[in-house]
């Protein structure tokens, strides 16, 4: 296994000048180029008083440059989780300025590193011991909440993962179908490859054909259940040495299909933005239990599960999932607790509504969401089904079928039909888009 480097040493002489940091097709960025580009951006950043810099990058290499330059300059990187100009304007209170490779105007100071002159390379100040970055999590409400991650915790997380899988990954290149603007992508597309010295793809994979075209090197593929479900096993299988899935629970059917295509079992990670990685499992057999990382402690309380970990800022936080532990210290996930709403003094589980929707004939996928109109909240259903079933007739039939399982107040009153459930760049449900489906026209 390669020597593991913490972030503060990514620019050190421990990596040779011709070491490949990132690639995009046949184009590569070397260690020498990384050192030069970080110095150029650092030299610009120290001219500005702004402390919180939003990083908005489609290019993974540009993101690495910006991350290192802001931290060495004593600034705080902020990862909004997207690169949309209108939303950045709405979130202006969360950052002071923006570093981006995109032609956007968020209404504040913007630096595009590609436009900066080359600067002489000099010794940079070390990254502060208490340095960190800010991410956002929206849960199921759509309201962004800030989560602070220390660089120390991110380094520790990389060391855990390197200890678990590092020996399997020597010589791999890292490709991903998830964004580096969220914690999962940040951890596995940026932190882990940089710690191990693995070349990472600057561009994201959007369609299965792009993955199948990666044939020149052994791969570590970072993905999500949503993407893995869309894989076409009729395509030639790329040389994936390991495939990792997170950002949602991977179903057994998809896991088996991917295993048959690639010839390897999918490795799955369980964690949250607040907690970092908590546990892992290999889909070698059906219903494989989760194995906690050694330093993670789960604590049962009357209000639900708490988790204690050195990766958590503050050391401890609550979980929104129900767990069932086995005798070997492993556990199974029993579903989420956090999607409980109160309707007409009754507690309604939106997760339960979704399960019942998914059991109805003709419904391929579904989301239940609270819809508030004229001061009254009631469930709404976003449904994927055949176009012939998008009618009031089928809504009546489905409502009638739901009555045998659900209280009348829990049966969806509003229905919206889509080709696919909208997902964000982390392949999680895009709650803001889902809510917009139910907005009344003014």
pLDDT tens digit sequence for 196-242: 999 999 999 999 999 999 999 999 999 998 899 899 999 999 999 99
Name the pLDDT band for 138 (thresholds 50, 70, 90).
low
Name the pLDDT band for 426 (thresholds 50, 70, 90).
low
Query: How many Cα atoms occupy the beta-carbon half-sphere of 43 within 13 Å?
Result: 15
Q: What is the mean pLDDT of residues 142-148?
A: 77
Amino acid 355: pLDDT: 87
Amino acid 2: pLDDT: 67
Q: What is the mean pLDDT of residues 16-33?
A: 97
In a domain, residue 327? The reply is yes
In a domain, residue 198? The reply is no
CATH value at residue 403: 3.30.300.30
pLDDT tens digit sequence for 308-337: 999 999 999 999 888 999 878 999 988 766
**Interatomic CA distance for residues 87 and 104, integer angstroms:** 11
- Are 209 and 128 in the same domain? no
Q: Please report which helix (H) or strand (E) contains residue 349, including its range.
A: strand 346-349
Q: Are 158 and 192 in contact (CB under 8 A)?
A: yes
Highest mean pLDDT range out of 51-65, 140-154, 386-400, 420-434? 51-65
Q: Kindly report the CA angle at 343 between 342 and 344, in degrees rounded to 5?
A: 120
Amino acid 343: pLDDT: 76
In a domain, residue 121? The reply is yes
- Are 328 and 347 in the same domain? no
What percentage of residues in the chain have a pLDDT greater than 70? 95
In a domain, residue 162? The reply is no
**What phi and psi values does residue 243 have, to the nearest 5 degrees?**
-125, 130
- Are 149 and 42 in the same domain? yes
Structural domain containing residue 363? 340-436
Q: What is the mean pLDDT of residues 125-153?
A: 84
- Are 16 and 84 in the same domain? yes
Amino acid 425: pLDDT: 66
Amino acid 140: pLDDT: 46
**Interatomic CA distance for residues 135 and 99, integer angstroms:** 15
- Are 110 and 139 in the same domain? yes
- Are 210 and 120 in the same domain? no
Domain count of the fold of the chain: 3
CATH value at residue 128: 3.40.50.12780
Query: How many Cα atoms occupy the beta-carbon half-sphere of 20 within 13 Å?
Result: 16
Amino acid 165: pLDDT: 97
Q: What is the mean pLDDT of residues 397-420?
A: 91
- Are 291 and 349 in the same domain? no
Which of 154, 172, 193 marks a domain boundary?
A: 154
- Are 144 and 249 in the same domain? no
In a domain, residue 111? The reply is yes
- Are 55 and 141 in the same domain? yes
In a domain, residue 98? The reply is yes
pTM recorded for the entire structure: 0.81
- Are 122 and 13 in the same domain? yes
Name the pLDDT band for 142 (thresholds 50, 70, 90).
very low
Amino acid 345: pLDDT: 54
pLDDT tens digit sequence for 271-285: 999 999 999 999 998
Q: What is the mean pLDDT of residues 392-401?
A: 91
- Are 147 and 30 in the same domain? yes
- Are 330 and 225 in the same domain? yes
Amino acid 423: pLDDT: 85
Q: Which of 42, 58, 144 is nearest to 95 (CA)?
A: 144
């Amino acid at each position: 296994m390669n020597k593991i480097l913490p972030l503060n040493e990514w620019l050190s002489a421990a990596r040779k000048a011709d070491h490949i940091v990132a690639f995009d097709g046949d184009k590569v960025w070397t260690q020498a180029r990384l050192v030069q580009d970080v110095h150029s951006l650092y030299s610009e950043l120290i001219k500005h008083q702004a402390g919180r810099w939003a990083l908005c990058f489609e290019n993974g290499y540009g993101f690495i440059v910006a991350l290192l330059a802001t931290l060495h300059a004593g600034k705080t990187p902020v990862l909004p989780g997207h690169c949309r100009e209108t939303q950045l304007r709405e979130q202006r209170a969360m950052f002071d300025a923006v570093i981006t490779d995109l032609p956007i105007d968020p209404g504040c100071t913007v630096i595009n590193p590609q436009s900066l002159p080359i600067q002489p390379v000099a010794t940079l100040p070390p990254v502060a011991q208490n340095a960190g970055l800010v991410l956002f999590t929206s849960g199921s409400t759509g309201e962004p909440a800030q989560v602070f991650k220390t660089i120390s915790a991110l380094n520790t997380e990389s060391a855990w993962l390197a200890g678990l899988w590092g020996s399997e990954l020597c010589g791999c290149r890292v490709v991903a179908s998830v964004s580096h603007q969220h914690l999962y992508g940040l951890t596995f597309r940026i932190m882990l490859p940089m710690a191990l010295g693995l070349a990472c793809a600057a561009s994201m994979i959007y369609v299965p054909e792009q993955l199948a075209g990666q044939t020149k090197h052994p791969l570590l593929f970072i993905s999500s259940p949503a993407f893995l479900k869309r894989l076409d096993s009729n395509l030639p299988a790329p040389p994936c040495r390991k495939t990792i899935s997170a950002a949602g629970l991977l179903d057994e059917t998809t896991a088996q299909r991917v295993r048959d295509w690639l010839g390897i079992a999918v490795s799955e990670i369980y964690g949250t933005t607040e907690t970092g990685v908590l546990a892992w499992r290999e889909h070698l057999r059906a219903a494989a239990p989760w194995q906690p990382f050694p330093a993670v402690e789960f604590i049962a309380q009357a209000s639900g599960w708490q988790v204690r970990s050195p990766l958590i800022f503050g050391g401890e936080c609550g979980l929104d999932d129900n767990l069932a532990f086995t005798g070997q210290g492993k556990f199974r996930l029993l579903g989420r607790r956090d999607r409980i709403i109160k309707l007409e003094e009754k507690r309604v589980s939106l997760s339960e509504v979704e399960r019942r929707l998914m059991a109805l004939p003709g419904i391929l996928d579904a989301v239940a969401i609270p819809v508030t109109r004229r001061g009254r909240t009631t469930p709404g259903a976003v449904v994927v089904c055949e176009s012939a079933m998008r009618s009031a007739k089928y809504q009546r039939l489905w409502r009638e079928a739901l009555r045998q399982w659900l209280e009348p107040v829990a049966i969806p009153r509003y229905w919206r039909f889509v080709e696919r459930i909208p997902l964000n760049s982390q392949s999680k449900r895009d709650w803001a888009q889902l809510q917009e489906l139910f907005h009344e026209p003014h």
